[in-house]
Amino acid sequence: MSGQVTRSIWLTAIAVSVSATIVSGCATETAGDTPSTTTTAFISGTVSVDGSSTVLPVSTVVSNALKKVHSGVSVSVQASGTGGGFQKFCAGGIDIVGASRPINADEAHACQGSKVDYIELPVAFDSVSLVVNRANSFASCLTIGELKHLWEPAAEKAVTQWNHVRSSFPAQPLTLFGPGTSSGTFDYFTLAVVGTESSSRKDYSASEDDEVLAKGVADDPNAMAYFGYAYYREHQDTLKLVAVDNGKGCVTPSAETVADNTYRPLSRPIFIYVNKASAGRPAVRALARSYVDPENAKYVQDVGYVPLPTATLLATGRRFDSGVTGSIFGGRGSVLGLTAASFEDDDRIKSAMVR
């Protein structure tokens, strides 16, 4: 299994993809609001998808749209968390795993032990969003330092009231909700905020289901949680976004602040990993290709995420077509500092991993 993709492969893929677009006039065929696919032939079969709850909204809309074109395709979409999804994937139990962080070394080793080769495909950018109940009138922006003080292991049973986070906040009880330890969002957030992946206080209500987290905050005026932006967007009538100050002022997550890289360090790419053997089946191939088809970027936008640039999607599609296996991140797991442009240049990815 290839553990890393060189810069030349990525840049060649971009060049080939752009050339193909110029020659053909469009990358794929499309039909109104139905997903673009690389073939008009009838496709049937089953596809199993599991993993990240953050990727779940994308998987759901893409698979539903594909089934409108190919009614013979049946897609099972579940969300047991990035870690739980990789356990199933590397055991050969599912065709595609959604991941809110890159595959880590233990997961890559498990896949290798089971002889599961995989193709890594970035599909969008998300902003990990901090939310409070709409009745909360004081927590509008928090610094990274305050978030670390709130979520680090030392905060357990110590930071229990809002005025423990900031002295000017009221002395009201603090209720925390967050992803469980199998979540890729948990891994990324702890690295970005606390400084060490998986380092966190444990005295909070944890769930791999972001709907549970959103409801928990909506039902408690003293609550706070973090999860993918799509779940805030779905529940924005009952939740309030909290801006993040990384030293350059308060920034609220949005498509614009993710695209211009000002919502740092809580913007991150999300992925799917495709079992290479499964990719030989037409239904799996069609679904995987639909995730990275530029014509389908509207589905990513519809759920609240930021599509990758067209050139990056084209390069990613060519990578899938070429069957290039392994991870460009070398089993590092969560990586900070990635932008949409990072996937067009391997040197930028290496720079982010060093940081």
With 70 as the cut, is the pLDDT of residue 10 above it?
no
CB 332 within 8 A of CB 187: no
Rounded-to-integer distance, Cα 348 and Cα 337, Å: 9
- For the stretch 261-293, pLDDT in tens is 999 999 999 999 999 999 999 999 999 999 999
* pLDDT for 7 beyond 60: no
The domain spans of the chain are: 7-126+268-354, 127-259
Is the per-residue pLDDT at 15 higher than 70?
A: no
Q: What percentage of the chain has pLDDT greater than the value 70? A: 85
For 127-259, which CATH superfamily applies? Periplasmic binding protein-like II (3.40.190.10)
**Cα angle for residues 19, 34, 64 (degrees, 5° grid):** 115
Q: What is the pLDDT of residues 216-231, one digit of tens each?
A: 999 999 999 999 999 9
Does this chain's domain 7-126+268-354 share its CATH topology with 127-259? yes
- Report residue 80 as tokens: 């047991």
Q: How would you class 237 by CB atoms within 10 Å of its CB: exposed for 0-12, middle for 13-18, buried for 19 or more?
A: exposed
Looking at residue 259, its pLDDT comes to 87
Chain-centroid distance of CA 107 in Å reads 17
Asked if omega into 35 is within 30° of 0 (cis), the reply is no
Radius of gyration of the chain (CA): 20
Nearest to 163 by CA among 155, 174, 179, 147: 174
Contact call for residues 208 and 79 (beta carbons, < 8 A): yes
Asked whether the beta carbons of 352 and 338 are under 8 A apart, the reply is yes
Contacts of 214 (CB under 8 A, 6+ apart): 131, 225, 227, 231, 232, 234, 235, 238, 239
Q: Which of 8-22, 234-248, 336-350 has the highest mean pLDDT?
A: 234-248
In this prediction, residue 339 carries a pLDDT of 82
pTM of the full predicted structure?
A: 0.85
- State the helix-helix crossing angle for 56-69 and 282-291, rounded to 10 degrees: 120
The CATH number of the structural domain formed by 7-126+268-354 is 3.40.190.10
